[in-house]
């Protein structure tokens, strides 16, 4: 009697004791560079949009290239960070399934891939503009410093994350050789701090009493302290954006005094995010929250559409 054979699947045992289908090295690398988080790199496009160069093909190409470079750089940082946090991630209820922590991706392969990806991305940035290469290098140095030391220093950890977002915005402006408003940099810093403190709060409430064992810096925070910090940066972000959108300097620079019409979308977006953090225990991944929450995604889309209408159509004049 002929015996039927079933296709064999490679199986790996995770630190949590559960078996899972082993992915290929390429698939594990792709997962490890976190394409779902690349939405954070859209800050690169701030200079393009607010310099009113969105209709210039050369500027769009330069901005898209800068975006791709920072996606590669962020992937490099994620790989290095997963290598550094491998032991801690194996004890984390969610992070233990990451390819490096679960043993699916060899640390040696991850290290080589991270180094190669980083070098190629910085070289590409240098070819576009030497100044962009310097910004890209500063971004990598800053985030590697975060992975090694700065993420263990209270408050500095969040400020470092915010600086990474600011460097993305600066890179976008440098790529197309335009100045970027100081107010826009202030808004970027404050918004990034809001996201960083919300993420810390999510980690603290998710891991409860064992939080400090998974991430040492969580010993330094409490939900009350984080709520106070979030309240400060929330108010500061809204005020900064309102001042930027309604100032005479902005109206002169952009050629329109109607950017203030976009303020309601910013108000709703911030308040919706706070609702998700406090009522839905969200905040761990801004990209995931944006993708999974329809009202928040609609708000961001409407804000972008409103900005485009104000800056690029006669309706904004």
pLDDT tens-digit map of 107-164: 999 999 999 999 999 999 999 999 999 999 999 999 999 988 998 999 999 999 999 9
pLDDT confidence band for 294 (50 / 70 / 90): very high
pLDDT of residue 312: 93
- Here the tokens at position 180 are 């970027």
pLDDT at 7 over 80: no
Closest by CA position to 146, among listed 100, 199, 78: 78
Closest by CA position to 30, among listed 89, 110, 103, 115: 110
The answer to whether 299 and 315 have CB atoms below 8 angstroms apart is no
pLDDT tens-digit map of 217-264: 888 999 899 999 999 999 999 999 999 999 999 999 898 999 999 999
pLDDT of residue 284: 73
Burial of 155 (0-12, 13-18, 19+ CB in 10 A): middle
pTM of structure = 0.85
The answer to whether 95 and 203 have CB atoms below 8 angstroms apart is no
pLDDT at 16 over 70: no
The answer to whether 152 and 216 have CB atoms below 8 angstroms apart is yes
Q: How many other CB atoms sit within 10 Å of the CB of residue 78? A: 21
The answer to whether 204 and 211 have CB atoms below 8 angstroms apart is yes
Please name the residues in contact with 195: beta carbons below 8 A apart, sequence gap of 6 or more.
Answer: 161, 283, 286
- Here the tokens at position 202 are 């999510």
153: helix, strand or coil: coil
pLDDT of residue 212: 52
pLDDT at 3 over 60: no
User: What percentage of the chain has pLDDT greater than the value 70?
Assistant: 90
β-bridge mates for residue 19, sequence order = 13
Q: How many other CB atoms sit within 10 Å of the CB of residue 84? A: 15
């Amino acid at each position: 009697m002929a015996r039927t054979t079933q296709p064999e699947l490679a199986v790996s045992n995770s630190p949590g004791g559960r078996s899972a289908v082993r992915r290929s090295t390429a698939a594990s690398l792709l997962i490890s560079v976190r394409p779902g988080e690349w939405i954070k790199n859209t800050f690169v496009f701030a200079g393009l949009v607010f310099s009113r160069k969105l209709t210039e093909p050369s500027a769009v190409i330069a901005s898209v290239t800068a975006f791709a470079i920072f996606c590669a750089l962020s992937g490099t940082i994620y790989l290095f960070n997963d290598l550094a946090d491998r032991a801690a991630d194996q004890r984390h209820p969610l992070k233990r399934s990451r390819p490096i922590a679960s043993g699916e991706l060899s640390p040696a392969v991850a290290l080589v891939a991270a180094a190669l990806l980083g070098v190629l991305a910085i070289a590409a940035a240098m070819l576009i503009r030497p100044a962009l290469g310097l910004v890209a290098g500063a971004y990598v140095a800053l985030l590697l410093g975060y992975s090694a030391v700065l993420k263990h220093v209270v408050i500095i950890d969040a400020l470092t994350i915010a600086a990474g977002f600011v460097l993305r915005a600066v890179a976008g402006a440098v790529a197309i050789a335009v100045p970027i408003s100081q107010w826009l940099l202030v808004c970027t810093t404050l918004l990034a701090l809001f996201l960083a403190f919300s993420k810390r709060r999510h980690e603290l409430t998710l891991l409860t009493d064992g939080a400090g064992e998974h991430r040492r810096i969580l010993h330094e925070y409490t939900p009350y302290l984080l709520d106070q910090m979030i309240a400060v940066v929330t108010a500061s972000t809204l005020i900064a954006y309102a001042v930027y959108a309604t100032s005479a300097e902005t109206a002169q620079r952009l050629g329109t005094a109607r950017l203030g019409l976009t303020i309601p979308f910013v108000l709703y977006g911030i308040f919706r995010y706070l609702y998700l953090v406090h009522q839905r225990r969200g905040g761990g991944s801004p990209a995931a929250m944006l993708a999974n929450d329809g009202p928040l995604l609609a708000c961001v889309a409407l804000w972008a559409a409103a900005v485009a209408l104000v800056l690029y159509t006669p309706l904004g004049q």
